[in-house]
Amino acid sequence: MSKLIIVAAPSGAGKTTIVNHLLKTFDSLSFSVSAATRRKRDYEVDGVNYYFISPEQFKEKIREGAFVEWEEVYDNQYYGTLRSEIERLWKAGKNIIFDIDVKGALNIKKQFPEESLTIFVKPPSEEILINRLKNRKTETEKSLRKRIARVKEELKYEDKFDKVVLNDKLQDAFADAESIVADFLHEQPKKKTDE
């Protein structure tokens, strides 16, 4: 059976950047596209970044048992991993990498304990993380406050993960993540090209 690498972190910690680096570094990895009910950002592509669906469609899929994990992250804003997405990638013979929230990561690990490795991406400090979120300028004042409250809660989950990658200097975080994933997959990273 294929392996699952579940990367999670509070918003703004750099997990997506690290996941994208790992996808370029390991041939056997494929990205698990999550379902989300939030509005699509201008640079995002449906079916590539997320499967964007309405809250009503999401709730219907919950009732159908279509999710391996899901969560209402903010009021009426849902994220989840479709069982069909994991099955699609396993049929293709791929190891799967996830970029999800901390609770979702632990839920997948619970269902696939032998096949899963959880990695928590840790920011250098709570203060730096909050500044990163503010500097994104993608949030309203109200949504930023919600996100910051959630970040403070999610930082408490670090010790529940198999491995922790400190994202202070990005190249060091890349190297740490590569080493962890190489050990877990028993696969060597591709030779370096300029990123």
Secondary-structure class of domain 4-185 per CATH: alpha beta
More confident residue, 150 or 53: 53
Among 40-44, 66-70, 112-116, the minimum mean pLDDT is found in 40-44
How far apart are alpha carbons 4 and 118 in whole angstroms?
8
Report residue 87: phi and psi, to 5°.
-60, -40
Say which residues have a Cβ less than 8 Å from residue 64's Cβ, sequence separation at least 6: none
Q: Side chain identity at 155, as an amino acid letter?
A: L
Neighbours of 41 (CB within 10 A): 9
How far apart are alpha carbons 21 and 178 in whole angstroms?
9
DSSP three-state, residue 4:
strand
More confident residue, 12 or 32: 32
110-134 average pLDDT score = 91
Say which residues have a Cβ less than 8 Å from residue 74's Cβ, sequence separation at least 6: 143, 146, 150
63-87 average pLDDT score = 93
Q: Burial level of 102, CB count in 10 A (0-12/13-18/19+)?
A: buried
How far apart are alpha carbons 122 and 15 in whole angstroms?
9
Beta strands 77-82 and 67-74 are antiparallel
Q: Which pLDDT score, from 0 to 100, does residue 37 have?
A: 97
Among 52-56, 121-125, 131-135, the minimum mean pLDDT is found in 131-135
pLDDT tier at 195 (50, 70, 90 boundaries)?
Answer: very low
The tokens of 121 are what? 């991406």
pLDDT tier at 159 (50, 70, 90 boundaries)?
Answer: very high
25-50 average pLDDT score = 94
Strand order of the β-sheet with 67-74 is: 50-52, 34-36, 77-82, 67-74
66-91 average pLDDT score = 93
Q: Which pLDDT score, from 0 to 100, does residue 1 have?
A: 67
C-alpha distance from residue 110 to each of 2, 81, 104, 106 (Å): 16, 14, 10, 6
| Annotated domain spans of the chain | 4-185
DSSP three-state, residue 179:
helix
